[in-house]
Amino acid sequence: MALNNLDTLYRQVIMDHYKNPRNKGALEQDSVTVDMNNPTCGDRIQLQLDIEDGIVKNAKFQGEGCSISMASASMMTQAIKGMEVEAAVKMSENFSEMMLGHDVDSEEMGDIEALQGVSKFPARIKCATLAWKAMEKGVHEE
């Protein structure tokens, strides 16, 4: 597939997650709640995680921000549901590597790979990693 077509596809995936966010809302049950913001651009997120027996049973987010931060939160919550905490943290570490421009296993990343182009825009990396940093903080508080 030509690079332009791939960029277009990735943009479509990001915009779909931004316009139709998955897991946006609040959890009913007791959960780990993490509030984080990116003061440089005003993105803010509240992430809620339902962690039971070392498994992320559910994840929801609320907040506001740019298309990158909100799409990233949507993709991340989709990806980590049902995952062992250690695997979710490992995925977050791989995402951080991808944001630094390093190659990662695209099989493991799925839709999240659509955000790899953000690595070319250093000012936007914090937008993309906000939800991931919130998740890492949350699982360590659990």
- 58 near 32, Cβ under 8 Å? no
Buried b (16+ CB within 10 A) or exposed e, 35-53: ebbbeebebbbbbbbbbee
How confident is the model over 98-120, as pLDDT tens digits? 999 998 887 889 889 999 999 99
Q: Residue 91, Cβ neighbours under 10 Å: how many?
A: 22
- CA torsion through residues 115, 133, 105, 59, sign: negative
Range from 3-7, 85-89, 130-134, 136-140 carrying the lowest mean pLDDT: 3-7
pLDDT for 2 equals: 57
3 pLDDT band, cuts 50/70/90, is low
134 pLDDT band, cuts 50/70/90, is very high
Mean pLDDT of 65-85: 97
- 10 near 98, Cβ under 8 Å? no
What's the chain's average pLDDT?
A: 93
Side-chain-side CA neighbours of residue 61 (13 Å)? 32
